[in-house]
Amino acid sequence: MTVVLRAETVSRVFPSAAGDVVAVRDADLAVAQGELVVVAGRSGAGKTTLLTMLGGLDAPTSGRVLIDGADLADPATDVPALRGSRIASIFQTAGLIPVLSAAENVEVPLRIRRVDPAERDRRVAEALRDVGLSDAARQRPGELSGGQQQRVGIARALVMQPAILLADEPTAQLDSETGAQIMDLIARLVHERGTAAVVATHDQAMLARADRVFELHDGVLRARASEQAAEVPSGDDRRT
Ligand SMILES: Nc1ncnc2c1ncn2[C@@H]1O[C@H](COP(=O)(O)OP(=O)(O)OP(=O)(O)O)[C@@H](O)[C@H]1O
């Protein structure tokens, strides 16, 4: 398994008049191709801060983030280029452009990257098909349900075939059934395409789709102990 995203003892401290806020404290994480990692945590636990650093939009106060083995703090690393070519993000709301159709919204990142028109058409059609929205290609966001809009957002995130997908509470604005469908969709696409994904959520129902679950509590990230790890060691390993 190839690790594409790695955080090493990453911390982020926000200074404030009332004292420093340690939003993330010494977080370690490694995510491999095709792996869906869910970071569960309550509001204020530090999820957004962690994802922002993983995506290279904010720098850790200490520790380091590596993408494809490249340290984002290394001056030799072209972070904007990495962000454009290797990373895609999904947020609580799809953030679609209202005057553009679903297909035109999905096309935006391809236009920015100057992909040629025939290739754009092919990839947009494929992305909309993957999220089950081929029939809605010409509709504008205002004509789509919240779940459909979020699916357009997912198509737009995946049309660049990113190595890494970061999703910050992608189901928070949706009812639980639609949220479950969106999470199923993300899990399927991540596994089919071999994307490394980190999904932050406070929705416990989302954890079932994860390959691994981490819990973030007051900025401290811990792997959720598997049932096996929770078992009492047997034989010589037993400690009393
Ligand atoms: N720019 C900032 N300046 C000061 N404090 C901040 C800043 N950003 C986040 N914090 C603080 O860091 C902590 C973690 O915030 P963060 O937004 O990462 O949590 P979260 O788990 O994403 O919460 P939510 O689910 O509500 O978005 C909070 O105490 C927050 O107030």
Report ipTM for this prediction.
0.94
For the chain, the residue count is 240
Q: Please state whether 150 falls in left (phi above 0), alpha (psi between -120 and 50) or beta.
A: alpha
The pLDDT tens digits for 129-187 are 989 999 999 999 999 999 999 999 999 999 989 999 999 999 888 888 888 888 888 99
- Find, among 98, 96, 99, 168, the residue nearest to 131 by Cα: 96
Amino acid at residue number 28 = D
Measured from the CB, is residue 204 less than 6 Å from ligand 1?
no
Question: Which ligand 1 atom is nearest residue 216's CA?
Answer: 21
Query: DSSP assignment of 46-62, as one string?
Result: SHHHHHHHHTTSS--SE
Measured from the Cα of 46, ligand 1's closest atom is 18
Q: What is the pLDDT of residues 181-235, one digit of tens each?
A: 888 889 998 999 999 999 999 887 778 889 999 999 999 999 987 644 434 444 4
Q: Which domains does the chain have, with CATH numbers?
A: 35-57+79-226 (3.40.50.300)
Question: Are 87 and 65 a contacting pair, CB within 8 Å?
Answer: no
Which among 11, 16, 21 is the best mutation to test ligand 1's pocket, defined by most ligand atoms within 8 Å of the CB?
21
State residue 175's pLDDT score: 87
The whole-angstrom separation of Cα 224 and Cα 230 is 10
78-98: pLDDT as tens digits: 999 998 889 999 988 889 999
